[in-house]
Amino acid sequence: MSVAPPTCGVLMVDKPAGITSHDVVDRVRRLAGMKRVGHGGTLDPFATGLLLVLLGKATRLFDYLAPLEKEYRATARFGAVSTTGDIDGEISPVAGTVSRRQLEDILPRFTGRIRQQVPLYSAVKVGGVPLHRRVRRGEQVEPPRREVHIRSLRLDGFNEQLQQAELTITCSGGTYIRKLCEDLGKAMGTGAYTLALRRTAVGEFTAGSASSLEELAALPRQSLLGDANPAFISCLGALYFLPVRELSGKELQAVSHGRPIEGMEPGPVRLAAGDRLVAIYGPGETEESIFPRVIFL
């Protein structure tokens, strides 16, 4: 007798270059035999690395997973600019060169909390329309600025002849690495674009634990969506950063009807029945009770 696949889980996929995050979602949708599939934060087509693919009711975890801190390894090329900020755009040379010492001296200016302008070629919506669509229509639009946090910006290597820097960046969700590289170039009196980009971590999840699409395709469906697959994470495990509370039978009944339960929590909390995520609750109208945010029953 076959075991029904779980309705809530996350797959760690090692996205290849040359396809969109939506392409990965479509591929996993077919492999898993599920209609309800999404992702926890997009990667540009030229980028590779860790993409969290949300299965079934896990699509409701997006608002919790997308803000997680990210780690990237990027190759920035100086002395040129790209229309998209990356290797996929139209590349044009720009006067000026940089040295390793100059780059090391300027990196601290781009750590901590900074204001970053959203790239023109991005999915961020202005007036309900993605920026990249407005640009391709020939519209003139001012991209919004956002505050992001660059916790760490490390220079791992620099090839002065090629004008290429190898960088490791740890940053808040919503940070655009190709914009960061562009801004580094401008600050040094030349241009820069992102030649290569790999996401190596999302929170505590790492690309080293992810599987390629080919590896996932080789697994039987019953193994793909379960603990037998090391790239699979239960919904309960995916929210490791939230406190967890085991429900009593009486509390489980109350939660199943969307009612508040007794408790005092400063923020969201996972409510569990065994190894199953039942709901996310949080503080609300009264101090003595917690109230539903998301229910997974």
Does the pLDDT value for residue 13 go beyond 90? yes
Fold of 244-295: 2.30.130
State the pLDDT at residue 72: 98
Does the pLDDT value for residue 128 go beyond 90? no
Higher pLDDT, 33 or 117: 33
Does the pLDDT value for residue 88 go beyond 70? yes
State the pLDDT at residue 225: 86
- Decide: 253 and 213 in contact? Cβ < 8 Å: no
Provide the whole-model pTM. Answer: 0.91
Does the pLDDT value for residue 3 go beyond 50? no
pLDDT in tens, 228-243: 899 999 999 999 999 9
Mean pLDDT of 269-282: 96
Mean pLDDT of 52-62: 96
Does the pLDDT value for residue 114 go beyond 60? yes
Topology alike, domains 8-67+204-238 and 70-202? yes
State the pLDDT at residue 287: 85
Higher pLDDT, 223 or 38: 38
- Decide: 184 and 74 in contact? Cβ < 8 Å: no
Query: What positions carry a catalytic annotation?
Result: 44
Give CA–CA dist 109/241, Å, rounded.
Answer: 30
* Cα dihedral: 240, 245, 250, 251 (round 10): -70
Give the whole-number percent of the chain exceeding pLDDT 90: 82
State the pLDDT at residue 4: 47
Question: Is 2 in a helix, a strand, or coil?
Answer: coil
Does the pLDDT value for residue 124 go beyond 80? no
With vertex at residue 113, the alpha carbon angle to CA 100 and CA 280, rounded to the nearest 5 degrees, is: 130
**Confidence band of 131 (pLDDT split at 50, 70, 90):** low
State the pLDDT at residue 221: 84
Mean pLDDT of 30-58: 95
Fold of 8-67+204-238: Pseudouridine synthase (3.30.2350)
* Cα dihedral: 200, 203, 204, 206 (round 10): -20
Question: Is 6 in a helix, a strand, or coil?
Answer: coil
Helix (H) / strand (E) element for 76: namely strand 70-78
Does the pLDDT value for residue 123 go beyond 70? no
* Domain boundaries, given as residue ranges, for the chain: 8-67+204-238, 70-202, 244-295
- Decide: 17 and 75 in contact? Cβ < 8 Å: no
**What CATH code is assigned to 70-202?**
3.30.2350.10
Mean pLDDT of 61-79: 97
With vertex at residue 3, the alpha carbon angle to CA 206 and CA 53, rounded to the nearest 5 degrees, is: 25
Mean pLDDT of 60-64: 96
**Confidence band of 130 (pLDDT split at 50, 70, 90):** low
Higher pLDDT, 88 or 124: 88
